[in-house]
Amino acid sequence: MSVRELTWERKPSTNHRERPLTRHVTAEQWELRRRGHVEQDGQNRRKVPNMTDKIDTGPFPLGEENTAYAQYFTGTSYLAPLSTEQVHISNVTFEPGCRNNWHIHRASSGGGQILLATAGRGYYQQWGCEPVELRPGDVVNVPANAKHWHGAAPDSWFTHIALMVPGEGIGTEWLEPVTDEEYGTLA
């Protein structure tokens, strides 16, 4: 089955709400963020999105910087867990150029992942297949045990809902990064 067959037909979105990032900050912090500077967060320095940028995350929150999985990403991503009960569901937002490493959602039965593109422009690629551009409304059914990656286009933020399909013996195996050469071939 080709990657195109795994993606449903895109439907025009009626949700075009763009929300600027807003937090309670001092005038000094606002100016630093406006200029795209880095802020001190305890002992860790972290990149902060430019506050004058409008980021469309769809109907869900941007979430926190995804520091727990940063080692498996090239660039900065944000994670907003929506459900951790029966099905693990998260809103994941990628800064322009951000993508995750090649990885596999392992399962002995069932399993896999479903990606629901909600905002921006991104890509999904399964090993051995051409990359597929993703836009709001696109759905990708990632089969269990399929090596793949996904992330933002070089010039666009990208947000998707990630659903982990329940199964037996499930787990994620993180592999090598998507090289700049591989990523640079995207249209």
Q: Give residue-wise pLDDT tens across range 74-130.
A: 999 999 999 998 899 999 999 999 999 999 999 999 999 999 999 999 999 999 999
Please give the pLDDT value at position 59: 82
User: Is residue 123 a part of any domain in this protein?
Assistant: yes
Are residue 106 and residue 71 in the same domain, yes or no?
yes
Domain extent for 150? 56-187
Are residue 49 and residue 124 in the same domain, yes or no?
no
Cα–Cα distance for residue pair 160/63, rounded to 1 Å: 12
User: Is residue 9 a part of any domain in this protein?
Assistant: no
Average pLDDT of the chain is: 79
Q: How many domains does the chain have?
A: 2
Residue 69: strand, helix, or coil:
helix
Are residue 130 and residue 180 in the same domain, yes or no?
yes
User: Is residue 106 a part of any domain in this protein?
Assistant: yes
Instruction: Please give the radius of gyration of the chain, using alpha carbons only, rounded to the nearest integer.
Output: 17
User: Is residue 49 a part of any domain in this protein?
Assistant: yes
Q: Is the pTM of this model over 0.85?
A: no
Residues 6+ apart with CB under 8 A from 96: 75, 152, 153, 154, 155, 156, 157
User: Is residue 3 a part of any domain in this protein?
Assistant: no
Q: In the 8-state DSSP scheme, what is residue 178?
A: P
Please say if the pLDDT value at position 26 is more than 50.
no
Please say if the pLDDT value at position 131 is more than 60.
yes
User: Is residue 11 a part of any domain in this protein?
Assistant: no
Q: In the 8-state DSSP scheme, what is residue 72?
A: G
Pairing of strands 148-152, 77-83: unpaired
Are residue 124 and residue 92 in the same domain, yes or no?
yes
Are residue 39 and residue 80 in the same domain, yes or no?
no
